[in-house]
């Protein structure tokens, strides 16, 4: 396939993943990583490409939330510091594991993430401003799984924190800014262990995400939250089933 054709395909992947993320506030990484795996990229290269792109896309999003006053400093630190440690461990493990082992891990991970999004709680709870216990552990686990699986940071942290009564606005802002730091740590680790990724993959994901960002913002204002959650869950679950099918071949 010609490089231009591949670039356009990866741009489309980035746009679709950004639409899901913009409408739901999460799932960019796991959606784009799943599509890259389906396209045939090795798991480590797929995760590295996603994190290189997310360093820029999440950086812009996180800084926007910070300027808008949507970041709680203590929550950000409690997620970012353990998340960086987890991301380095996850990226290092992914870079040194045989590809077939990684696919055996990633396929059930995609299936679990799809089901997690489909059945995540939507009940309202009393909001709290203090940072709950176990937030550091959550950040570490999410960092490991995000780097090893190519995504899942926001799906795990946002859902868990909101379900425990945190203010959604502060959760989303703090999580997105922390994600920028975690993606940077994972990217540096991948760069040191794998070297440079395929640039047309990374640039395609970035371009698609930038182009689709305004449409994601438009979409989230018009679709009910349950509909966007269902769409994201079905997308990730389909990618997991697709990868499972290829493992059986």
Q: Is residue 3 part of a domain?
A: no
Contact 163/119 with Cβ under 8 angstroms?
A: no
Taking 90 as the threshold, does the pLDDT of residue 175 lie above it? no
Between 160 and 245, whose confidence is greater? Answer: 160
For residue 19, give every residue at least 6 positions away whose Cβ sits within 8 Å of its Cβ, in sequence order, or none. Answer: 212, 215, 216, 219
Q: Are 83 and 62 in contact (CB under 8 A)?
A: no
**pLDDT value of position 140:** 96
Residue 181 domain boundaries: 10-248
Task: Answer whether residue 180 shows pLDDT above 80.
Answer: yes
Q: Is residue 60 domain-resident?
A: yes
Pick from 58, 47, 35, 7: nearest CA to 207: 7
Q: What is the predicted pLDDT for the residue at 182?
A: 92
Taking the C-alpha atoms of residue 25 and residue 203, their distance in angstroms, rounded to an integer, is 22
Which is higher by pLDDT, 96 or 143? 143
> Angle, nearest 10°, between helix axes 3-24 and 225-248?
140
Identify which of 206, 123, 215 has the alpha carbon closest to the alpha carbon of residue 162.
123
What's residue 201's pLDDT? 87
Residue 28 lies in a domain: yes
pLDDT score for 143:
92
Q: Six-digit token pair at 141?
A: 């686990």
Q: What is the rounded average pLDDT of the residues 224-239?
A: 68
Domain-embedded: residue 2: no
141 and 65 in contact (C-beta within 8 Å)? no
Contact 150, 45 (CB under 8 A): no
Say what the pLDDT of residue 19 is: 75
Would you state the pLDDT for residue 39? 81
* Paired tokens of 60: 């812009």
State residue 86's pLDDT score.
95
Whether 173 is covered by a domain: the verdict is yes
Please report whether residue 54 resides in a domain: yes
Higher pLDDT, 27 or 103: 27
| pLDDT the model gives residue 50 | 87
Task: Answer yes or no: is 4 within a domain.
Answer: no
1 found inside a domain: no
Instruction: Give the total number of structural domains in the chain.
Output: 1
Owner of token pair 């490991």: 144
Q: Supply the pLDDT for residue 79.
A: 95
Q: Who has greater pLDDT, 204 or 235? A: 204
Residue (of 71, 28, 58) closest to 187 by Cα position: 58
Choose the most confident range, by mean pLDDT, from 20-24, 27-31, 99-103, 170-174: 170-174
Q: What number is the average pLDDT over the span 137-142?
A: 92
Q: From residue 191, give the alpha-carbon distance in Å to each of 49, 92, 179, 195.
A: 10, 10, 18, 5
**Across 58-62, 145-149, 189-193, which has the greatest mean pLDDT?**
189-193
Question: Across residues 33-45, what is the average pLDDT?
Answer: 81
Q: DSSP for 176-198, please give it.
A: HHHHHHHHHHHHHHHHHHH----
Give pLDDT tens digits for 67-97: 878 889 999 999 999 999 999 999 998 888 7
């Amino acid at each position: 396939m010609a490089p231009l054709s591949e670039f356009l395909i990866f741009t489309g992947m980035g746009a679709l993943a950004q639409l899901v993320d913009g409408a739901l506030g999460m799932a960019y990484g796991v959606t784009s990583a799943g599509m890259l795996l389906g396209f045939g990229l090795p798991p480590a290269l797929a995760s590295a490409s996603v994190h290189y792109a997310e360093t820029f896309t999440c950086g812009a999003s996180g800084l926007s939330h910070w300027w808008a006053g949507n970041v709680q400093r203590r929550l950000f630190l409690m997620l970012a510091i353990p998340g960086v440690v987890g991301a380095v461990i996850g990226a290092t493990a992914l870079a040194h594991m045989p590809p077939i082992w990684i696919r055996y891990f990633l396929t059930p991970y995609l299936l679990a993430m799809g089901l997690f999004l489909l059945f995540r709680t939507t009940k309202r709870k009393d909001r709290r401003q203090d940072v709950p216990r176990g937030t550091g552990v959550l950040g570490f686990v999410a960092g490991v799984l995000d780097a090893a699986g190519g995504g899942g940071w926001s799906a795990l942290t946002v859902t868990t924190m909101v379900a425990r009564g945190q203010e959604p606005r502060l959760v989303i802002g703090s999580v997105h800014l922390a994600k920028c730091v975690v993606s940077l740590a994972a990217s540096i680790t991948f760069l040191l262990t794998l070297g440079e990724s395929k640039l047309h993959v990374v640039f395609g994901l970035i371009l698609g995400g930038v182009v689709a960002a305004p449409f994601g913002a438009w979409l989230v204002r018009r679709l009910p939250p349950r509909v966007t959650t269902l769409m994201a869950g079905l997308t990730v679950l389909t990618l997991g089933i697709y990868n499972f099918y290829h493992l059986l071949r």
